[in-house]
Amino acid sequence: MRKIARVVAAAMLLVPPLTAAGCADGKGKPEARPTPTVPTTTPPQPVALTPDVARKAFQTYITDEDVARAAADERLALTWTSDGQSLLTAAEFRKAAFDGDPVRRFSYGKPKLYVPKLKADAYPQWFVASVDRSVPGEKKSKETALMGFILRGPADGWHLTLATMLAPKAELPKIQLDPDGYAEALSSDDSKVLIRPRDVGGIQATMAAEGAGSVAAKVMETGPLTSGYYQQTKRAKKKAKDDDLTLTVVYTATPYPYFGLRTKNGGGLVLYSLFRNEALVGQAPSVKPEIPKEAEHLLDGTVEGQEIDTTATLQFAAYDPPRAKKGKPQPKAGLVADDGAISKAATPPIKKP
């Protein structure tokens, strides 16, 4: 009998107790449990890009940018940028911290906005702003900035992806606008202009590598930002050799967006970016290159091996003329704006044999 009692007691312990929720009416009938529901969210709907939308996006950017710069908050500043502009913004904040200086803040004038007419559901959407920009308290700091903004999807926010400065003596080509104030976007392979917009950066990089004698000089003007880069590299290589160093310089295209706008005479204004990759290497194991002053803020002050690698992010705007009619002289493309800085640096250790 004692054995049976123990078995019954054990069985009682395995029966779950009735809860108030299971028998709310006191008659032992379980109450129906509510079916769990998963909250649903409505995806953002595309908004058509208009001059007014661009104006608000621009104003929001310059307000948010100033908040981040006033607080010296690099992470916050990077929230409003993308692509090459993010690299340059991060480098600028780090240089200010390295030098012990406040981050530059900017004062903007009234912008001219060039807004292409795009389908509401076509992404990315983009526009270009031309605006006077200066640093408060700095005399003669006023420049004309050309700024490219991009929106990659309806759930994304507008970001500044590219900013370049109009050369002091350059004139911005007049952009063609329709009666509603919209600009005409150039396709990547537009055949009405001398150089296809997608190839403008490559042509400049070729001239930087080959100089005025390059075949690319047939379609792009020589100058400080084209064949001038070639001459600059020659001088830098000679100086490096005198210091028992080897210098390699390569200009390449970037994966970042570029923007093309039709000008009034049928040409185009193209905004784009390039990388300049440099490697400075000691010719003997005992030779170590000195860290370039313009890259100090990106390194820890030591060179572990015999090499210093740097990458500069360079941003440009070029005037791309219309193709001349048969028998007429053909103008060349020319650079009208540039900006950039070293955005990455590394000192690789000596490779083990």
H or E element, residue 275: strand 268-282
Q: 138-182, pLDDT tens digit by residue?
A: 999 999 999 999 999 999 999 999 999 999 999 999 999 999 999
pTM of the model: 0.85
pLDDT value of position 28 = 52
Q: Decide: 266 and 192 in contact? Cβ < 8 Å.
A: yes
Distance between CA atoms of 238 and 66, rounded to whole angstroms? 43
Q: Report the DSSP beta bridge partners of residue 319.
A: 269, 334
pLDDT at 76 over 90: yes
Q: Which pLDDT band, with edges at 50, 70 and 90, does 135 fall under?
A: very high
The chain-wide mean pLDDT, for the chain, equals 89
Q: 92-125, pLDDT tens digit by residue?
A: 999 999 999 999 999 999 999 999 999 888 899 9
How far lies 57's CA from each of 101, 256, 294, in Å?
29, 20, 33
Backbone angles phi, psi at 9, to 5 degrees: -65, -40
pLDDT value of position 327 = 92
H or E element, residue 272: strand 268-282
Tokens 């063609």 appear where?
Answer: 176
Closest CA to 87 of 347, 343, 346, 348: 343
User: How does DSSP assign 16-29, residue by residue?
Assistant: PPP-TTTTTTSSSP
**Three-state SS for 15?**
coil
- For the packed helices 200-210 and 227-242, what is the interaxial angle rounded to 10 degrees? 40
pLDDT value of position 7 = 39
Distance between CA atoms of 304 and 148, rounded to whole angstroms? 39
pLDDT value of position 349 = 80
Distance between CA atoms of 49 and 265, rounded to whole angstroms? 25
**Residues 6+ positions from 96 with CB-CB distance below 8 Å:** 72, 102, 103, 104
Distance between CA atoms of 319 and 268, rounded to whole angstroms? 6
**Three-state SS for 178?**
coil
In the chain, helix, strand, coil percent, each to 5? 30, 30, 45
Q: Which two tokens stand for residue 110?
A: 């009234």
